[in-house]
Amino acid sequence: MGRFDDKEKALDLNEKGIDLYELERHEEAIACFDEAIRLDPELSDVHYNKGMALHVLERHEEAIACFDEAIKSDSENGDLWQWKGLSLHVLDRHEEAVACFDEAIRLDPELSDAWQWKGMALHVLDRHEEAVACFDEAIRLDPESLVAWQWKGITLKELNRNEESIACFDKDIRINPESEHSWHYKGVVLYRLERYEEAVACYDKAISLDPELSEVWNSKGMSLHNLERYEEAVACYDEDIRLDTESPYSWNNKGIALEELERYEEAVACYD
């Protein structure tokens, strides 16, 4: 009877932990999951839920240990493999992450997250063609996936497939017009194509959505420089430097723009 009572208490604690997780009270949730595990260590769902809470708290090594514990008794669960893979990816253990995503996909080929996360890991490993194929599969399963469209665009940019890249960012922006990163990346590709006015318009949109994105200010400055709007370029580099005082690109780019303005003393100071 005691063993049955322990299991019932563990299940109740698991449900309480899930509620706390949904309320973003992750430390309290973990405490519930720990007590549930103490009462019944065989409940794979509790290990999984604890792993999820640890993942949110960026305690990825501990999360992986929880997913591993859950996999011991539920090895055919694709969700467990894909979340273990994502924690490994965040820890820059990309080859191991890909292996986990592959196992998740083998168990459930309809897991769109596993496809897009595998694509992200392959992107980091410079396996760009394979990454694009993964993003395509993720998009087939979930045509509204912001992550898949954005990362497909980023990967196509790396492959110099610029028009296709822009089309992906446009799709992402159509789904979510407030996707500041897609506005920025679209601007970067337009800059590469020497379409500087259009690039500036994209950077302005990204800045309106998040003025603290320091790298966008540098990107905007570079486009303005190429349009020979040097004073405006310097102002952009200054804003990047204000947000990131160690920004090597903006200091250097500011110096070059000041040279164009024949403000040589100030230019020299940028290179020091």
For every residue of 78-140, DSSP letters joined together read HHHHHHHHHHHHHTT-HHHHHHHHHHHHHH-TT-HHHHHHHHHHHHHTT-HHHHHHHHHHHHH
pLDDT computed for residue 3 by the predictor: 54
Q: pTM for this structure?
A: 0.89
Query: Average pLDDT for residues 139-164, to the nearest whole number?
Result: 97
Residue 20 has pLDDT above 90, yes or no: yes
Residue 248 has pLDDT above 80, yes or no: no
pLDDT single digits (tens) 195-229 = 999 999 999 999 999 999 999 999 999 999 999 99
pLDDT single digits (tens) 109-118 = 999 999 999 9
Quote the percentage of the chain above a pLDDT of 70: 99
pLDDT computed for residue 116 by the predictor: 97
